[in-house]
Amino acid sequence: MQGAFVGAGGLRLNPLTPTRVADTRDAGRVDPLVITAPAGAAGMVLNVTGVGAAAAGFVVVYPCSAPIPETSNLNFVANAPVAGSVYVQVGSAGTVCVHANVPIDMIVDLHGTFSAAGQLRFQASVPKRMLDTRSGIGGWRGQVGHGQQIEIGVAPPEAKAVTGNITMIEPGLDGFQTAFACALPLPPTSSVNAGGGLLAANSLTASSTASLCVRSSVAAHVIFDTTGWWVS
């Protein structure tokens, strides 16, 4: 993976404060949903959440200048919220398209961009479980409560961002968890969504130092596995 970002012609990451760039629950459903990239971005790190589908289906994220690919970034069943992290190339007009094969509300959060002038290169690591509230790994045992926030160690001190996998387990109600740099205010975004009594996992890339904060909208267990980090 490191070669894909920093080799000849490769790109580097610019982590951003998580920002909600689209929410069709407010603006109305449209397909495809067009996202305009920040100036200079060749790629984007997005988190796409689908909610309110009446039937099972999928979402695909792609450069708007390209045909819709025969792939998917997000798969869902009726009436179940689900989120997926996406690295996507920006199209020639500076846009990315989000297409669903059945009507669904789509929420898009921007976490970073890739460019040749980016700041950070990726350092892969052996995957390691840094938090599991079921067993106490990471220093927290028991569900994270409604509106509660915990801090966990996720990377070495030189890290400027972290990539990993977050799993939300058995919330009492439909809800979400947000992972973000502890030095920042709580962003109006989500990292993983799960239906009541279920579990869901999602990868994420987040601006971070050695630690990351996780806030839960409902009482639920949470797991975080680190797969790598980003350094200057």
| Domain 2-115 and domain 121-231 have a common topology | yes
Task: Please state, in angstroms and rounded to a whole number, the distance separating the CA atoms of residues 222 and 212.
Answer: 13
| pLDDT tens for each residue of 74-104 | 999 998 889 999 999 999 999 999 999 999 9
Give the pLDDT confidence score for residue 8 in this predicted structure.
Answer: 41
Residue 216 · residue 146 · CB < 8 Å: yes
CATH number for the region 2-115 comes to 2.60.120
Its pTM stands at 0.88
The pLDDT, as a whole number, for residue 187 is 93
Mean pLDDT per 10-residue section of the chain, whose length is 232 residues? 47 92 94 95 95 94 95 91 94 96 96 92 94 96 95 93 96 94 92 92 88 95 96 90
How far is the C-alpha of 43 from the C-alpha of 148, rounded, in Å? 33
The fold of the 121-231 domain, in CATH, is Jelly Rolls (2.60.120)
The confidence score (pLDDT) of residue 5 equals 53
Q: Which residues pair with 66 in a beta bridge?
A: none
DSSP 140: -
Distance CA(79)–CA(53), nearest Å, equals: 5
Residue 123 to residue 208: CA distance in whole angstroms:
14
Domain limits, the chain: 2-115, 121-231
CB of 210 closer than 8 Å to CB of 154 = yes
Cα radius of gyration (the chain): 17
Q: Is the Cβ–Cβ distance between 218 and 171 less than 8 Å?
A: yes
Tens digit of each residue's pLDDT (9 = 90 or more) over 14-41: 999 999 999 999 989 999 999 999 999 9
Structure tokens, 135: 């067993």
Q: Is 188 exposed, middle or buried (0-12, 13-18, 19+ CB in 10 A)?
A: exposed
